[in-house]
Amino acid sequence: MSNHLSQKFEEIVGKGNVLASEVDRHSYSYDAAVLPPKLPALAVRPETPEALGRVVKTCNELGLPLTVRGSGTNLSGGTIPSVGGVVALTGALNKIIEINEADMYAVVQTGVITAKFATEVAKRGLFYPPDPGSQAVSTLGGNVAENAGGLRGLKYGVTKDYVMGMSFYDVDGELVKTGSRTVKCVTGMNLHGLMVGSEGTLGVFNEIILKLVPPPKASKAMMAIFDDLGKASETVAAIIAAKIVPATLEYMDDFTIRTVEDFAHAGLPTDAKALLLIEVDGHPAQVEDEAAEVEAICKRIGATRIQVAKDAAERNKVWEARRAALSALARVRPTTVLEDATVPRSKIPAMIGALEAIAAKYKLTIGTFGHAGDGNLHPTILTDKRDHVEYARVEAAIDEIFDVALSLGGTLSGEHGIGTAKSKYMVKEVGLGSIQYAKRLKAALDPKGILNPGKITGE
């Protein structure tokens, strides 16, 4: 059957762009989530938007599950295909169609790499703020499908705040247009709003219109170290209470600090209990004022050490510790489970306390770092998936992390998506009615259920 199927897709995308060998199928059976792989029938690599549209149409006609894949960096299994399904690769659809400086927007194809796009935008004196951790390889299509966040969420928002419009293919391969290049647009339903974070379950993106903003003229970074977790959270609250919105406000726990120090020798005190990395940006005068005020707050609440970066080199040094966090943690054990349960900012101390208790209860190593300013923490469980006994405890711990996050008024996922990894927890957060509503919506738009089945709402 697969030979016949390959031929059918070769007619659409060309011979070299159908990947159906044993190794190719295995190559597209996984993503960055710690989940079992699923073997698709084949992968296709369309080189034109028209070919992409025809791939969607054909999959629907044949009732074949279709999963769109950019760089496969998803952490919740969103790009793991269905067994026997089709994977559509967006790598060849990687053109930046327009960067409009006068009207401050850009039009891109879905396979454009996030960091390359941000660089091109910066060359034209503009700024695209969303900066997910995988930005060096992630695609904009993937960012929109997952509503990716990043370090700048607190001040600049996340991907959804930059999507002005798009065109996408419905299951019949018809092109649907929504939104526009204008700041204001109430023409038709806000379908692009629906598409953001839909994880490939409602349509296949073609072109995306993204908002750009002027870059800040100045920025200042500092690192504050605390011997007490409570003081660190108090500092976060005090900064926000002082009506200062830092561009980044990052947190690192004691385990992460020690691991980073072992790995990168950045000069961090290994007896510290918590570390905050704070960067303010904007007009130079405002940056000076705010930086001084933040420094004063840190001092007042009792930071044991404050290091303000005086120049770009020092700023880089301050950031080095944060950049090394995941790398350092990932080297401790073979398997790294990176979670992103998120709570209201004020609940961070409670969440961190609960994480410590969970680590002790299940005898696991958990390092926590993340975006303190927006309540999005990354408890990182260090384990070995080959040790089935320990991994069962990991799964139980994850269940409990979600329960705690929800009990604190938080959410299952801040930026990694639901995919298949967290779909079973959905009901706890949104209730059965919401899931049924989403399922009915999906059934109406995708009657055969071919678009990335099983993601978000489960099977």
Partner 1 sequence: MSEMRQLVGLLKQIDDQLVACMRCGMCQAVCPIYAETGLEGHVARGKIALLECLADEVIKDPAGVKERLDACLLCGSCQANCPSGVKALDIFLKARAFLTGYYGLPPVKRAIFRGLLKNPRFFDTVLGIASKFQGLFTKPVNDMLGSSCARVFSDLIGGRHFAPLAGSALHEAAAERDAPRGFSGLKVAFFYGCVVDKMFPRIGEAVLTVCDHHGVGVYMPHDQACCGIPALSSGDRETFEALVAHNMKLFGEADFDVLVTPCATCTSTIKKLWPLMAENLPELTRFKIREMAAKVKDISEFLINDVGVVPADLPVSGEPVAVTYHDPCHLKKSLGISAEPRALVAANPRYKLVEMDGADSCCGSGGSFTLQHYDLSKRIGKHKRDNIVATGAMVAATSCPACMLQIGDMLSQAGDKLVIKHPVEIYAETLAGR
Q: Residue 113 Cβ, how far from partner 1 at the closest point, in Å? A: 8
Number of H helices, E strands in the chain: 14, 16
Near partner 1 by CB under 8 A: residue from 38, 45, 211, 345: 45
Q: Residue 39 Cβ, how far from partner 1 at the closest point, in Å? A: 9
DSSP string for residues in 280-303: EEESHHHHHHHHHHHHHHHHHHT-
Near partner 1 by CB under 8 A: residue from 6, 58, 67, 73: 73
Near partner 1 by CB under 8 A: residue from 2, 316, 327, 436: 327
Part of the chain binding partner 1 (CB under 8 A), chosen from 197-205, 221-229, 250-258, 328-336 = 328-336
Q: How far apart are CA 37 and CA 32, in angstroms?
A: 10
Q: Residue 332 Cβ, how far from partner 1 at the closest point, in Å? A: 10
- Taking CA atoms, 49 is separated from 15, 223, 328, in Å, by 17, 46, 41
Q: Residue 382 Cβ, how far from partner 1 at the closest point, in Å? A: 11
x/- map, 392-411, partner 1, by CB under 8 A: --------------------
Residue owning tokens 């959905």: 426
Nearest to 80 by CA among 19, 22, 36: 36
Residues 11-40 that bind partner 1 (CB under 8 A): 19, 21-24, 26-28, 30-34, 37
DSSP state of 340: -
- Tokens linked to 335: 């398997």
Q: How far apart are CA 415 and CA 376, in angstroms?
A: 8
DSSP state of 448: T
- Are the CB atoms for 320 and 360 separated by under 8 Å? no
DSSP state of 106: E
User: 3-state class of 211 per DSSP?
Assistant: strand
Near partner 1 by CB under 8 A: residue from 304, 335, 346, 365: 335
Strand partners, 366: 381
Q: How many Å from the N-terminal Cα to the C-terminal Cα in the chain?
A: 25
Q: How far apart are CA 401 and CA 218, in angstroms?
A: 38
Q: Which is nearer to partner 1, 21 or 48 (CB)?
A: 21
- Are the CB atoms for 111 and 48 separated by under 8 Å? no
Residues 367-386 that bind partner 1 (CB under 8 A): 384-386
Near partner 1 by CB under 8 A: residue from 336, 376, 383, 413: 336
Q: Which is nearer to partner 1, 25 or 455 (CB)?
A: 25
Residue owning tokens 């503009």: 126
Q: How far apart are CA 159 and CA 153, in angstroms?
A: 9
x/- map, 78-97, partner 1, by CB under 8 A: -----------x-xx-----
Q: Which is nearer to partner 1, 238 or 330 (CB)?
A: 330
Q: Residue 433 Cβ, how far from partner 1 at the closest point, in Å? A: 35
Residues 94-153 that bind partner 1 (CB under 8 A): 113, 115, 134, 136-137
Q: Which is nearer to partner 1, 22 or 459 (CB)?
A: 22
Residue owning tokens 């980044």: 248
* Torsion region of 179: left, alpha or beta (phi above 0 gives left; psi -120 to 50 gives alpha): left
Q: Residue 334 Cβ, how far from partner 1 at the closest point, in Å? A: 4
In this structure, which amino acid lies at residue 109?
A: Q
Q: Which is nearer to partner 1, 382 or 450 (CB)?
A: 382
Q: Residue 14 Cβ, how far from partner 1 at the closest point, in Å? A: 14
Q: Which is nearer to partner 1, 69 or 220 (CB)?
A: 69
Q: How far apart are CA 58 and CA 63, in angstroms?
A: 8
Strand partners, 88: 44, 68
Q: Which is nearer to partner 1, 4 or 386 (CB)?
A: 386
- Taking CA atoms, 186 is separated from 160, 181, 411, in Å, by 17, 12, 30
Q: Residue 308 Cβ, how far from partner 1 at the closest point, in Å? A: 28
Q: Which is nearer to partner 1, 34 or 245 (CB)?
A: 34
Q: Which is nearer to partner 1, 137 or 445 (CB)?
A: 137
Nearest to 248 by CA among 371, 354, 348: 371
Q: Residue 35 Cβ, how far from partner 1 at the closest point, in Å? A: 10
Q: Residue 82 Cβ, how far from partner 1 at the closest point, in Å? A: 18
Q: How far apart are CA 372 and CA 273, in angstroms?
A: 15
**How many chain residues are in contact with partner 1, going by CB under 8 A?**
36
Q: Residue 34 Cβ, how far from partner 1 at the closest point, in Å? A: 8
Contact between 71 and partner 1 per CB under 8 A: yes
Q: Which is nearer to partner 1, 92 or 306 (CB)?
A: 92
Q: Residue 115 Cβ, how far from partner 1 at the closest point, in Å? A: 8
Which residues lie near partner 1 (CB under 8 A)? 19, 21-24, 26-28, 30-34, 37, 45, 71-73, 89, 91-92, 113, 115, 134, 136-137, 326-327, 330-331, 334-336, 384-386
